[in-house]
Structure 1
């Protein structure tokens, strides 16, 4: 039979419309924003995971000086793979929508490996057509049918496509940042390629393993065998990149995965805020309805009937909020959320996919928190007797009504103090609520400053003006005859047609090349100033991995083997086998001085247990330091091995041997890219934080007004005007809010570091929370501005409190 209590539901909803509307908006906004992003991110992650099989992505690539002959490629394939030519050439590009200097990396239409997927149009079918990558076209306003010029030749865009091996546009795999604005990838017909690439190609070969499940250490051994086989057949290998080290393949997927962790942390914060609000509102509901609950119990209603009655509206409103949040998030917001990635990366056409995990996190958990907290709160209070409910004896301590205030205080001051004393528990709740809301705002405000500060700190960590990474040891202090000998050997190795060299010159070069000591390190063919050579330090740089805190992934640790008395790493003591780690690594991975810690070489599969002697003071440094002798021994290298130079002076090195160059200025590019990639996300989080902060503050301050409704009615009976009542109640709340916003800052600072550590746990490096004064001032100003809106709503509510409420019997 239908319960008579159901007749109260419409009236209860109408009388508490602000509360239930607040719950609806709080859940709806939180679910909409988080589900919108996580649905888009999880869909993109699934697309990335399907790409290797779907588009036949390579397992690795090798670049040689010249095109390898069929016999050489056959020898490589006998090792257990299939080799595909993947030649390219870089040419100047002109588009009508940009005045920048643009470069296009041209390739032939692919039919076997790294297959292109077309978002618009189709593959070039004639020599006057070209297909460009999707991100470049999107950022430069190009579409199918537009005309561009490549090396002066006009071509019509026939298609807009994505290459699965160039999802992130890196000019070189060793570059620190990608470039989707001025670097384009393009496909043309073989005839058009041969015409445009007449000046020479980059001879890259992609290989696909017969055993596609081969582990990384085994792949490394396989790739070493490939390089040796090519060398045995006279090919000069200039580059070798495994698929896991290919940034064009892995960078975007890693970025999406890291961003999901940050949004999951945001979701947890929102769930905590919602849980906090639900606790407050449940207690407020029981307190305001205590007389009714007592009457129902005394009238014979069972506790389960009362529990069911008071669950109806929260459950109904919660379900509507979940439904609205999912509808808006999945239908309206997932598209702009996926645009955060599709504007930067060359991803295949977007296909939304269902994720049970995302649905549970963003919808089931918040709804369960609402229902669970409401049930627990009601059950805890329903243990009281009907008489206790009727007398409003709900376990609260005395309200402070007997506290005598000094007579010297004016009436207005004493009244406001009395409001505060009678509602001290609610004001304390308001303080913690403001802490949660302010934390959400500061979290959004600090993302960009933290990224910028991280890049600046990393620049300060670079000990020299230049860190040159080498592909192989290269000596700088050779004699003139040694430089001539190596230059002759290099010329012979890099000249495809030796008949193009005069016979006398060829004979002389061959004689010079024979003097090269094959067992010694190569000597640079470029002469450097003696002072520059003297100040340059040989360094060994290797890589290890160790598990991250708060994450199931590993941190890549750069291991620096440096001289014991280095002129650049002056504060690092690596004498007597000491191992020093950066402060950032200690914080991110739990590495402590005086303890042993395991580090794994992902390329060999070996695990090294190292004793850490010291942790340095750099918060952003996630590297490890040991003597160059200890480093070479650890990685099984010769005693005189090195693969990098640290130098304040610029060095002139053979491009063939130069792998990377890192300078303090290069960190500026990283900062710019971080700001570009994180700026949109920070703005979205800010968009989430402000309305949630408004709803949170409204709901929490509303409980104070509701609790004082009878007193407000009395004051109206006594002749007080609405303006005077506003001054007594709203200003009391206003002072509490402003003081709470300011006092919350130390708690926010204390907790923000841990929250950000978890949020950034899947990104490389350690980013310490950095909040400049301007961000704190902005948070305070925004908090006060939000409360101004809330105060306006409360003023309206106070003016609607009826005088008849004072005449009603309280018990």
Structure 2
């Protein structure tokens, strides 16, 4: 014969269906959302980490003006690397009725390095087939079997693939944003590649024999590589280490940073769940007080009652854990994966089980539910059966029995009495609304914060153009100096065949002009610029170092600028005589203090520097370090007068061989647009989940007030009050509390969200200032009011169902 306690479980579940359904939804939504993302992100991170070996990703690449001599390549390989030809053509791509004016970078089918991963189709064969990048094809509706025009020539798309060195589609490594709409990588077979025409780029990828070389050792190897190429007749135009190749490293850095954001979100949701479990456990015991007293007086042991009251939370928690994981791994796996696969060209997705994610998203909430319920039961069951029967398990208070001013009307006194009698519950409601608003604002302020960051970066630019050079390049030169250097460049970069084919007279003229080049002077820009543009341009030097972030959050990459002491562009920076100015954003993020040494490292040179800030400058997003140009060159051991950049409010025409990047305000706008594009869908999910959690939380917390007043509501029905009148008396107090809580908690919410997002953004490079515009705060309040309107409607139905018979039951 089943125990009477077991037979009570179905009735208890039916009677408290709203409460247990709320717990189920709260846990299910939380587990589904966070586990769905973290599983997808950790799987993608594992895929990215495995790409280096699975697809033999290069350790670096170098580009030469012409095909490097065989002896130059052999000399490089003697250093302990394997060199692979990675030649390419940048050609126009179009499709009838589809994309126009796109650019495809075509490589030959690869074997043994940077190997392609095919999502659909196969590798191209013959002279009229091509394989294109997956993300580019998805954005432009290109499928296997379609025909595209490449430089006016028809190619059939045989495959859709990804290349590991173009996991992020940066057309140039110096670009600040990806281009997934009009730029694609592509591969063709050897016959097709040999038939291409145009300007060929002679890039070589190298793979170290020792794949475990440290960045510093690899930097030394690359220095030897440059020397070997120069000694053997190769003219080097570019060298990029794999760690500096945005096409390779950018996706991994993005995924790593986003995981921290979701873990902070999980931390916030876990706090909310723990808070709800505490409140509901206490409310359940208070509601069941008389029954517990009766059972104890009837001979039931406390451990039997603990087991009984743990049964339903255990059942609901298990059901929510199963449902949340099933939905997270199925329904949300695809959209969460697409947050990255819509932007990055990664190999085919494969989900991996992650025990850490399971412990964080499932075991922790379930353990909280059971643990908090168990502790609450044990604490309450210290009371005697008589205390349970008399409902004296809670501390007695005098607020409900306070004398109120008789001049107040009955309705006002009744509402005030309801408020005072439930003061502890309303205090709990305030805290719950603050947490829910914090969660909601977490999602709502993310996009404004990104926009504000992009605007701040734009405002922090010292000039309309900040040109960074690969090597010093003089722009203030005479026409004769430009002609001489142009002649020397032509002779140095021309192939042997071109020199032999050149007219002897023309060759002699070039040699004569080139003789005027000062071998000890900096290269001269061969392109003419207006005198006014040259006069307003200002030299500077820049280098990158790393410094430790707080909270063991990795290393912050910092740009160190060497600027003129009387700079017209950095006029607010006090430098010279050993002075060092640090950006306010860097000082705030990394805890730098004026007068105290700050450690910086150069990972590629394996060198450390201790810099002592003498001032803090700029805005909250400025994470740079400033010193005079002379101090810069002394610090880094450069020749006097060394520089590698120009600040200019006017556009300069510079030799592209020397230009590394041109940073303009428009680039900052593109950064903001890319952030909005990459985070838009994620933020939408966050807000939707926050609204649902808000609804469940507010319903559960306000329900405890209605349940506690059930007997009083029944009395009022006996006295003839209609349901509408009772709603006005009880729901009015709750409504006032909710609206007041929404408004009063805003300063606490703003402070909380600022602290949380600082932790979230700690692993991102740069200092991202949390921005909470007034309109987002208004939206939080309006959503709170709208959610409460739904909850109030549900409570009116609850009040209608309070039976008259409840007033006639003996309470003692």
TM-score, normalised to structure 1, is 0.98
Partner of residue 662, structure 2: 661
| SS of equivalent to 1:661 | strand
| SS of equivalent to 2:205 | strand
Partner of residue 276, structure 2: 277
| SS of equivalent to 1:659 | strand
Partner of residue 577, structure 2: 576
Partner of residue 792, structure 1: 793
**2:576/2:631 contact within 8 Å kept:** no
- Per-residue displacement from partner, 1:403-452 (whole Å, max 9, x unpaired)? 12222222111111111110011011101111111111111111111101
* Alpha-carbon distance in structure 1 between the residues aligned to 2:109 and 2:257: 33
**2:117/2:347 contact within 8 Å kept:** yes
How far has the Cα of 1:477 moved from its partner? 1.5
Partner of residue 674, structure 2: 673
* Alpha-carbon distance in structure 2 between the residues aligned to 1:7 and 1:395: 28
**2:69/2:234 contact within 8 Å kept:** no
Q: Which runs of 5+ in 1 are unaligned?
A: none
| SS of equivalent to 1:595 | coil
Check if 1:550 corresponds to 2:540. no
Write out aligned runs for 1:423-442 (5 A).
423-442=422-441
How far has the Cα of 1:100 moved from its partner? 4.0
Write out aligned runs for 1:728-747 (5 A).
728-747=729-748
Write out aligned runs for 1:310-459 (5 A).
310-459=309-458
Partner of residue 87, structure 1: 87
Partner of residue 482, structure 2: 483
Comparing 168-177 with 187-196, greater Cα deviation is found at: 187-196
How far has the Cα of 1:69 moved from its partner? 2.0
Write out aligned runs for 1:20-169 (5 A).
20-169=20-169
- Per-residue displacement from partner, 1:358-408 (whole Å, max 9, x unpaired)? 111111111111111112222222222333222222343415122122222
How far has the Cα of 1:601 moved from its partner? 0.8
**2:162/2:346 contact within 8 Å kept:** yes
- Per-residue displacement from partner, 1:672-703 (whole Å, max 9, x unpaired)? 00000011110011121111110011001001
Partner of residue 752, structure 2: 751
* Alpha-carbon distance in structure 2 between the residues aligned to 1:412 and 1:498: 103
**2:89/2:105 contact within 8 Å kept:** yes
Write out aligned runs for 1:774-785 (5 A).
774-785=775-786
* Alpha-carbon distance in structure 1 between the residues aligned to 2:138 and 2:667: 26
**2:133/2:345 contact within 8 Å kept:** yes
Comparing 523-532 with 114-123, greater Cα deviation is found at: 523-532
Q: Which runs of 5+ in 2 are unaligned?
A: none
Partner of residue 292, structure 2: 293
**2:32/2:327 contact within 8 Å kept:** yes
* Alpha-carbon distance in structure 2 between the residues aligned to 1:607 and 1:369: 46
How far has the Cα of 1:780 moved from its partner? 1.4
* Alpha-carbon distance in structure 1 between the residues aligned to 2:393 and 2:481: 93
How far has the Cα of 1:336 moved from its partner? 1.1
How far has the Cα of 1:596 moved from its partner? 1.5
Partner of residue 192, structure 2: 192
Check if 1:588 corresponds to 2:585. no
**1:63/1:202 contact within 8 Å kept:** yes
Partner of residue 514, structure 1: 515
**2:544/2:558 contact within 8 Å kept:** yes
* Alpha-carbon distance in structure 2 between the residues aligned to 1:593 and 1:195: 62
* Alpha-carbon distance in structure 1 between the residues aligned to 2:528 and 2:583: 35
* Alpha-carbon distance in structure 2 between the residues aligned to 1:395 and 1:300: 23
Partner of residue 704, structure 1: 705
Superposition RMSD in Å: 1.4
* Alpha-carbon distance in structure 2 between the residues aligned to 1:366 and 1:616: 45
**2:126/2:190 contact within 8 Å kept:** no
How far has the Cα of 1:529 moved from its partner? 2.2
| SS of equivalent to 2:551 | coil
| SS of equivalent to 2:762 | coil
* Alpha-carbon distance in structure 1 between the residues aligned to 2:2 and 2:81: 73
Comparing 774-783 with 393-402, greater Cα deviation is found at: 393-402
| SS of equivalent to 1:401 | helix
How far has the Cα of 1:199 moved from its partner? 1.9
Partner of residue 562, structure 1: 563
Compared with structure 1, are the counterparts of its residues 796 and 182 closer, same or farther at alpha carbon in structure 2 (3 Å cutoff)? same
How far has the Cα of 1:534 moved from its partner? 2.1
**1:399/1:423 contact within 8 Å kept:** no
- Per-residue displacement from partner, 1:564-597 (whole Å, max 9, x unpaired)? 2211111111132121111211222222222222
Check if 1:266 corresponds to 2:240. no
Aligned residues: 810
How far has the Cα of 1:225 moved from its partner? 0.8
* Alpha-carbon distance in structure 1 between the residues aligned to 2:101 and 2:773: 37
How far has the Cα of 1:492 moved from its partner? 1.0
**1:473/1:521 contact within 8 Å kept:** yes
Comparing 35-44 with 525-534, greater Cα deviation is found at: 525-534
Partner of residue 626, structure 1: 627
* Alpha-carbon distance in structure 1 between the residues aligned to 2:776 and 2:76: 58
Partner of residue 468, structure 1: 467
* Alpha-carbon distance in structure 1 between the residues aligned to 2:435 and 2:390: 34
| SS of equivalent to 1:575 | coil
| SS of equivalent to 2:401 | coil
TM-score, normalised to structure 2, is 0.98
**1:97/1:141 contact within 8 Å kept:** no
